[in-house]
Amino acid sequence: MRLILLRHGETDWNKGARLQGGKPTSLNETGISQVRSACVALRREFEGRIAAIVTSPLLRAIQSAEICAEHFHMPFVVLNDLRERSFGELEGRTKDDIRRDYDIDDVELVATNAFGIEQEDDVLLRVKRAMDTLRARFAGQTVLAITHGSVIRLAAKSHNLSIGIIPNGSYIDLVVE
Tens of pLDDT, residue by residue over 144-177, are 999 999 999 999 999 999 999 999 999 999 999 8
HSE-up (13 A, CA, CB side) for residue 19: 23
Decide: 158 and 152 in contact? Cβ < 8 Å.
Answer: no
* pLDDT at residue 130, as a whole number: 98
Is 71 in the active site?
no
Confidence of residue 125 (pLDDT cuts 50, 70, 90): very high
84 is catalytic: yes
- Could you tell me the strand order of the sheet in which 2-7 lies? 76-78, 50-55, 142-147, 2-7, 171-175
User: CATH no. for residue 147?
Assistant: 3.40.50.1240
Cα–Cα dist 16/33, whole Å: 18
Catalytic residue among 10, 84, 118, 120: 84
Domain that includes residue 97, residue range:
2-175
- Number of structural domains found in the chain: 1
List of residues 6+ apart from 29 with CB closer than 8 A: none
Q: What pTM was estimated for this model as a whole?
A: 0.97
Per the residue annotation, which of 8, 91, 120, 148 is the catalytic one?
8
Q: How confident is the model at residue 82 (pLDDT cuts 50, 70, 90)?
A: very high
pLDDT digits (tens, 9 = 90+) for 25-75: 999 999 999 999 999 999 999 989 999 999 999 999 999 999 999 999 999
